[in-house]
Chains A and B, each alone.
Chain A
Amino acid sequence: MLFWTRLSQQPALLEATETTSELSALTPGPRAALLLRLVGGLDFAHAADVLGVGEPAYRFALTRAVTSWSQAHPDPEALRRLRDDLQQRVRQLSAEQCERLADLRDRAMQGVTSSPTSPLPAEGAPRLRLRAWHWGALASLVLAFIATFVWPHRPSAQSGALPPVAAGVAPVLDDPAVVIHPDYPLLAAAQDEAAIRDLALLSWIGAGSPGVLATPATTNLPEPAADASPVAADGDVENAP
């Protein structure tokens, strides 16, 4: 799951490139939902897990993608042609690209199986291995997923460094796309941006900056006020109690 999740978060997957202009009208969420279905072939439940959303939300995103696509491509066969085209690109990857992707896959899977943070109990180990194998078997689908976005389709691509991603084409966000944006609440809270960004720092300051006064390098730091506010209204600093 980690493998797919990381994959779905690849920057190139979320940005439209000149080679993906057919999908550039879609916003990132619906585009990822569509690709997971078309190229990854994941069922609803697994695709929802990969994107970290509930299955109904995934279905919603997929519907949104298909609707947008259909509006731009009234031909009912267009979607099938897109799928075939994407899968064709996968089959034409160079050996080196495949090798790099396999390496990415291996590293992701190692992250699953050897993570010290894994919360699974010992009895869960066989299941974990099974899942790792399961996801490993899906590696070919990963090739498809990455290849359709990370690298432009260039049959004559030279070995060595991967071709750079072309400059992105920002999708047009119409009003319906804006209101279903998953980060709408965060982006709409512009007035609190600084407070949110520095929440941890500000909380620490508000509690009196504990842990710094005994540090020689920080003895000249302003000390917090008695009311847990480190800075007076005029910008001066009050002494700690």
Chain B
Amino acid sequence: MKRWLWLPACLLLSGFVLVGDDFRDLPADEQVLLASAQEHWSQLDADTRGKLHDNAHDWLARPPSARAVLRARMQAWDALPPTERARRRAPFAAWLRLDESERVQVRRLAAEFAALPADQQQLLRDSFAKQSFDSQRAWSLGPTLGAQTAPLVSLFAFVPEPDRPGLASLLRELEPQARIDLATLAARLDNAQRERLRRDLLATPAAARTALIRQRLAQ
């Protein structure tokens, strides 16, 4: 097989489906489900198309009983106050940003936590709740990055909500030593300087951020 054919062949074998902008490329049963999107399909961004395809694919794979459960969950969800829905979306967004090994770890922790006696669970919850709001949020980055980011919690203070995912990604992409340097740097800045540093970091290409942190640290 020619070398250039390997990639599409592997994608095909792995079940990967490229969601293009031609609605007719979708499987027929998905086209039926997503018919209301057909008119706008080509104008939807690739991410939205991919999500709709994933949803339809997941739905079609579910047996009727599982569909009924999901439909009921959806209706219960829609009945929640918007603030509550927003509160519950935040950890899910953070969950999606974890890599699979971290998800496996957190699943295991969840199972172990659930096996604890109720009073021990509550003790842990109470202790966690004593931390600042920003500290608690930093732990949404996962066990590893959360521990490295906790000293950087001041960088998250007063950060507008839309900017948080970008900042989390930025921290995730930094090398461990750069995160340590950033924690040292952030600790000696006032609020305005931290805000400026945050903006500068976000505006700097990922490859140049470590150098920027070192440069500021040396000032």
Contacts and interface: CB of A to CB of B under 8 A. Distances in A.
Interface of A: 9-11, 14-15, 27-28, 54, 56-57, 59-60, 63-64, 67, 116-119, 168, 170-171, 173, 175-176, 178-181, 183-190, 192, 194-212, 215, 218, 220-222, 228-233, 235, 237
A138 B126 CA distance: 45
Interface of B: 33-37, 39-40, 43-45, 48, 51-52, 54-56, 58-59, 67, 69-71, 73-75, 77-79, 81-83, 85-86, 88-89, 91-92, 94-96, 103, 105-110, 112-117, 120, 123-128, 130-131, 135-144, 146-147, 150, 158-160, 163, 195, 199
Contacts of B128: 200-201, 204-205, 209, 212
A9 B79 contact: no
A185 B70 contact: no
A206 B138 CA distance: 14
A207 to B, nearest CB: 4
29 contacts: A27-B78, A56-B43, A63-B36, A117-B160, A119-B163, A170-B75, A173-B71, A178-B74, A179-B34, A180-B55, A181-B74, A184-B51, A185-B92, A188-B70, A190-B69, A195-B107, A197-B88, A200-B94, A200-B146, A202-B109, A205-B124, A207-B139, A215-B130, A218-B123, A218-B127, A218-B130, A231-B112, A231-B116, A237-B116
A176 B36 contact: yes
Interface of B is mostly: helix
Nearest to B36: A64
A57 B110 contact: no
